[in-house]
């Protein structure tokens, strides 16, 4: 906890890191007696948990103002407010939150604050005009890393006394994948901090004792930005940070810049996530991924050859995907494992609010549930060419068989991979950690999955009927212009609540 002004203090509760239940969070929040409670809903599956917390807090804390932000809140703001929140911050919340805090402190009306949806005194939901994107990310305050306890963020998979923090160096995405919520949330324009600012944040992380940094950028290297990243890696090497870092990168950029990846590894790159999505070129084209299958293969090789642990993300269950396509993607994962991929994540194609596929699913009435708990990218929520139960089984067991196959091939010396740097040691530590958790994985495979399949079956058979009114509202909010100026700043949009 830290004072942010003479009359204000701020407290952060990280439900997962703090290992708290919903009731724990409610109790701790109420004991703090806050004037403002803000909850970030980057994940759609956080909807029900967040609204439950807010309702309980509002019942016990007088005059508290509750604010929701993040991807999900941005694209279903009216429902969020109807279910307990007072204000929704659209998109980037840095400047908006500062203005909101000042308005609340001075008992001012929210009408002049751009980029919010809120309930006014007449019980109307009001949407104010959107604000422009933050062009200069360097002007943002330094991250308040001191507000969290380092010991709560260990990377246990790699051993004891390893701690990680998150640093953001850029925002936005210039690509247009049909399933992705990043571009509608953060904008199509890629913006980045200067190397000087990034180094300053790395120094802070090092000072606080962090061994690992996760650069949370959705794409750490974009094509026009290669030179800037090259200079950053050289600065990190010169400064001798001795910090390992994790990134998310495009396979095509990775494949075409092997020297840059080599430099990144020298600077501390140890883990990289690649969004490969599919083993079918046709499916990649329909996803608007702008990626070739061969790029992914080459990217895995480049990363592995430089001693980087490779995590590959794949998606099953697109509405235009056949069973044959999905089996092909699972086999493609095996191929990537042979070339050096160390881990795989099979997600289920999920229409998230704000995406084109969410709008299409609403219009075609292909969703069989709107229980936001199920929008976790591992649980089917819509009808496709393939039965959702089959998709759910393939997603789960595709993951299990990837690791079983990779483990057996390595033990029997069938895979002959050369390991550079400390990658082999990190993998050995991870293997020991995973063996300790094997009872949990077996329980999930043989008990958890069947229960989940039964629930999917019930929902799928029952179907779901949405009112035209709700469909129209969701289409309207999912297509909201988050940043572009829509004209007269004195124009407001209102919807009457029940």
pLDDT digits (tens, 9 = 90+) for 91-142: 999 999 999 999 999 999 999 999 999 999 888 999 999 999 999 999 999 9
Residues 233 and 344 in one domain: yes
User: Mind listing the pLDDT tens digit for each residue in 133-178?
Assistant: 999 999 999 999 999 999 999 999 998 889 999 999 999 998 989 9
Asked whether residue 449 is assigned to any structural domain, the reply reads: no
List, as one string, the DSSP characters of 143-158: P-GGGS-GGG-B-GGG
Residues 231 and 125 in one domain: no
Residues 264 and 337 in one domain: yes
Whole-angstrom distance, CA of residue 73 vs CA of residue 47: 8
Q: Which of 298, 307, 353, 308 lies closest to 471 in space, CA to CA?
A: 353
Asked whether residue 169 is assigned to any structural domain, the reply reads: yes
Question: Are 89 and 128 in contact, with CB atoms under 8 Å apart?
Answer: no
Instruction: Give me the residue label for tokens 């704000």.
Output: 354
User: Mind listing the pLDDT tens digit for each residue in 330-388?
Assistant: 999 999 999 999 999 999 999 999 999 999 999 999 999 999 999 999 999 999 999 99
Residues 245 and 177 in one domain: yes
Say how far residue 106 (Cα) sits from the centre of its chain: 34
CATH code, domain with 181: 3.80.30.20
Question: How many other C-beta atoms lie within 10 A of the C-beta of residue 42?
Answer: 13
Asked whether residue 51 is assigned to any structural domain, the reply reads: yes
| Per-residue confidence band for 188, with pLDDT thresholds at 50, 70 and 90 | confident
Strand blocks (E) in 43-121: 65-69, 87-89, 116-119
355 half-sphere exposure, CB direction, 13 A CA radius: 21
Whole-angstrom distance, CA of residue 310 vs CA of residue 313: 10
Q: Which of 336, 280, 268 lies closest to 308 in space, CA to CA?
A: 268
Q: Which of 374, 364, 254 lies closest to 320 in space, CA to CA?
A: 364
End-to-end Cα, the chain, rounded Å: 39
Asked whether residue 382 is assigned to any structural domain, the reply reads: no
Domain count, the chain: 2
Asked whether residue 24 is assigned to any structural domain, the reply reads: yes
Residues 130 and 145 in one domain: no
Question: Are 52 and 29 in contact, with CB atoms under 8 Å apart?
Answer: no
Residues 154 and 245 in one domain: yes
Asked whether residue 445 is assigned to any structural domain, the reply reads: no
Domain range for 13 is: 2-134+491-496
Asked whether residue 368 is assigned to any structural domain, the reply reads: no
Whole-angstrom distance, CA of residue 244 vs CA of residue 161: 14
User: Mind listing the pLDDT tens digit for each residue in 465-484?
Assistant: 889 999 999 999 998 888 86
Angle of the 388-411 helix axis to the 449-462 helix axis, nearest 10:
160
For residue 482 the two structure tokens come to 């988050």
| Per-residue confidence band for 263, with pLDDT thresholds at 50, 70 and 90 | very high
Checking DSSP bridges between strand 244-249 and strand 170-171, what pairing results, if any? Answer: unpaired
Residues 143 and 129 in one domain: no
Total residue count of the chain as it appears in this document: 498
Asked whether residue 54 is assigned to any structural domain, the reply reads: yes
Beta bridge partners of 311: 273, 343
Predicted TM-score of the model (pTM): 0.92
Residues 164 and 25 in one domain: no
Residues 147 and 174 in one domain: yes
User: Mind listing the pLDDT tens digit for each residue in 233-261?
Assistant: 999 999 998 899 999 999 999 999 999 99
Residues 212 and 267 in one domain: yes
Say how far residue 237 (Cα) sits from the centre of its chain: 29
């Amino acid at each position: 906890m830290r004072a942010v002004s003479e009359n204000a203090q701020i407290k952060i509760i990280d439900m997962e890191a703090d290992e708290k239940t919903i009731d724990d969070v409610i109790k701790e929040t109420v004991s703090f007696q806050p004037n403002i409670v803000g909850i970030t809903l980057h994940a759609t599956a956080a909807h029900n948990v967040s609204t439950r917390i807010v309702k309980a807090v509002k019942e016990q804390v007088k005059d508290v103002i509750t604010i929701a932000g993040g991807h999900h809140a941005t694209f279903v703001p009216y429902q969020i407010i109807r279910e307990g929140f007072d204000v929704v911050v659209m998109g980037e919340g840095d400047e908006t939150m500062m203005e909101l805090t000042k308005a609340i402190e001075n008992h001012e009306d929210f009408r002049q604050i751009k980029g919010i949806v809120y309930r006014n005194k007449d019980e109307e939901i009001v949407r104010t005009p959107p604000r422009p994107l933050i062009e200069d990310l360097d002007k943002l305050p330094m991250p308040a890393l001191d507000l969290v306890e380092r010991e709560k963020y260990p990377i246990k998979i790699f051993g004891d006394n390893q701690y990680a923090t998150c640093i953001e160096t850029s925002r936005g995405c210039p690509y247009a994948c049909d399933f992705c919520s990043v571009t509608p949330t953060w904008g199509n324009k890629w913006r980045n901090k200067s190397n000087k600012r990034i180094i300053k944040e790395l120094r802070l992380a090092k000072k606080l004792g962090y061994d690992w940094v996760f650069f949370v950028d959705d794409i750490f290297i974009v094509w026009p930005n290669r030179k800037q990243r090259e200079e950053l890696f050289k600065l990190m090497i010169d400064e001798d940070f001795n910090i390992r870092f994790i990134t998310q990168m495009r396979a095509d950029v990775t494949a075409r810049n092997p020297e840059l990846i080599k430099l990144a590894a020298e600077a501390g790159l140890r883990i990289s996530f690649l969004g490969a999505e599919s083993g079918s070129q046709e499916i990649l084209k329909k996803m608007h991924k702008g990626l070739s299958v061969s790029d992914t293969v080459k990217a895995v090789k480049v990363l592995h050859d430089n001693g980087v642990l490779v995590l590959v993300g794949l998606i099953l269950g697109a509405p235009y995907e056949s069973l044959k396509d999905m089996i092909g993607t699972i086999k493609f994962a095996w191929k990537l494992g042979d070339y050096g991929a160390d881990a795989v994540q099979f997600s289920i194609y999920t229409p998230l609010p704000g995406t084109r596929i969410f709008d299409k699913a609403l219009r075609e009435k292909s969703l069989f549930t709107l229980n936001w708990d199920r929008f976790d990218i591992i649980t089917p929520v819509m009808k496709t060419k393939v039965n959702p139960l089959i998709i759910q089984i393939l997603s789960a067991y595709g993951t299990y068989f990837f690791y079983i196959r990779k483990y057996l091939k390595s033990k029997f010396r069938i895979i002959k991979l050369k390991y550079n740097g400390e990658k082999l040691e990190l993998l050995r530590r991870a293997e020991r950690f995973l063996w300790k958790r094997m009872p949990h994985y077996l329980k999930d495979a043989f008990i958890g999955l069947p229960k989940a399949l039964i629930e999917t079956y019930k929902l799928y058979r029952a179907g779901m009927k949405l009112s035209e009114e709700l469909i129209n509202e969701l289409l309207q909010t999912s297509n909201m212009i988050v940043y572009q100026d829509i004209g007269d700043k004195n124009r407001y949009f209102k919807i009457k609540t029940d």
